[in-house]
Amino acid sequence: MAKKYVQIVDPIHDFITVYSHELGLVDSPIFQRLRRIRQLAGAHLVYPGAQHSRFEHSLGTMHVAGQAASILKEKGYLSSDDYENIRMAALLHDIGHGPFSHLFEEVLQKNKTISHEEIGKKIILESEIGDIINKSGFDKKFLSNLAFGNSKYQFMNEIISGGLSADMMDYLLRDGYFTGAEHAKIDFMRIIHSLDVHEKKLSLAKSALYSFESMMISRYQMFKAVYFHKTVRSAEVMLIQSMLLADKELELATDDIKKYVQMTDEFVISKLVSLEPKDADLKRARQLAIEYQERKLLKCVYEKIFTRPRMNQVNTDELQNRIAKKAQVNKCEVFIDISKTPSIPLSPSKTESKSIILATKKGEGPKESYELPISEIPLVSAISGFMDMLRVYTRQQFRKKVEIAANVILGENI
């Protein structure tokens, strides 16, 4: 018998089918809250169209993951149950995101050393989300592992996150569409139809290698045009700093799920702009939030692409000190921003991917699989050198001084 479903109109995928057991999750307040968390925190200040939320992206990821799973089911790697589990896990993969999506993670990690994935697991295992899952006949433990990279079948995780994932295909298309940047024209149907499995890992038909290459280039272009755009990051650096300064006062970095799910973009902003300026930090946090809201953004005075070793070895705290001292400004007027995006997407286990598995087939012969190092894919290897970027920001009035200081200190060595 045909399953019951609704169809949701979506500008990216035309229609997204949501089956009734999924609808229970979608309609829960914790999931609905994703409507109020923008997919791209501060990007709408530069790309006004970028008002889209984690809600649409979660539906889209489920949709694409379902298409991928359906192909692998046809090829004999997945059962009908697997297919349903993968859709559910994809739907939930961002359930742990807090206000301003990835920005909030910097708050979580600095002050609480937890990630949005851990919050996500907690939400699945300990909140009403888990109850809904269980009532629908699914296993919340299993889904939690699948959603956050801990399934024992690596390729099932890879359908959801990583360099060939539904997550990436949806966000590249969606972010390109809503920003209007539109670099992200990817042949995602070709990639999906070319997926295969080799030793429990996801592989790709060699004939789709160019599509993969194109997708990586799109990602690089979106990184430069949107995700790490100079002004977008200016706004985001302000938000992060404001949240860090106000964290103690407002208890933002919490793992109390009840409190956590109250927080949305506008909720946190309204808290920040109405902080009582009890001390210098809170005053500063409030000031940054107000300036963010009125779009009085920090100015970028220094930008450099660094080659390896990667810049996460930079001691930003010390660097901030040195520049402030040389510029003779207060340390809190110097903002260091370092790109954290890996040039090649991380695998679901959060390690850097160094190769891709290709499946090839000659004439009537059997399928053969082999690993191709990323470094041998035209253009993709070239990208890696250009995504390691460091920027220095400050306020308008300190512009000149901090620019000179940054040039003196960073021009030579780091």
Shortest gap between Cβ of 187 and a second copy (angstroms)? 8
Shortest gap between Cβ of 410 and a second copy (angstroms)? 18
Shortest gap between Cβ of 200 and a second copy (angstroms)? 20
End-to-end CA gap in the chain: 65
Distance CA 60, CA 173 (A): 10
Interface residue with a second copy, options 127, 157, 203, 214 (CB under 8 A):
214
Residue with tokens 């024209």: 185
48 binds a second copy (CB under 8 A): yes
Binding to a second copy (CB under 8 A): which residues in 108-167?
Answer: none
221 binds a second copy (CB under 8 A): yes
367 binds a second copy (CB under 8 A): no
Assess contact for 398 and 327: CB atoms under 8 A.
yes
- Residue 14 or 276 having the CB closest to a second copy: 14
Six-digit token pair at 346?
């991380």
For residue 207, how far is the Cα from the chain centroid? 28
258 binds a second copy (CB under 8 A): no
- Residue 366 or 378 having the CB closest to a second copy: 378
Give bridge partners of residue 195 from the DSSP assignment: 204
Q: 4: which DSSP letter?
A: P
Binding-site size for a second copy (CB under 8 A) equals 60
Binding to a second copy (CB under 8 A): which residues in 270-299?
Answer: 270, 293-295
Shortest gap between Cβ of 142 and a second copy (angstroms)? 27
73 binds a second copy (CB under 8 A): no
Shortest gap between Cβ of 190 and a second copy (angstroms)? 7
Alpha helices in 294-390 (DSSP H): 316-327, 380-384
- Residue 35 or 331 having the CB closest to a second copy: 35
Interface residue with a second copy, options 116, 183, 219, 322 (CB under 8 A):
183
Helix (H, G, I), strand (E, B) or coil at 220: helix
262 binds a second copy (CB under 8 A): no
189 binds a second copy (CB under 8 A): yes
303 binds a second copy (CB under 8 A): no
Shortest gap between Cβ of 122 and a second copy (angstroms)? 21
59 binds a second copy (CB under 8 A): yes
370 binds a second copy (CB under 8 A): no
Helix (H, G, I), strand (E, B) or coil at 394: strand
Task: Give residues in contact with a second copy (CB under 8 A).
Answer: 2, 7-12, 14-15, 27, 29, 32, 35-36, 44, 46-49, 51-53, 55-56, 59, 74-75, 177-183, 185, 189-190, 193, 210, 214, 217, 220-221, 224-225, 264, 266-267, 270, 293-295, 305, 378-379, 381-383, 385-386
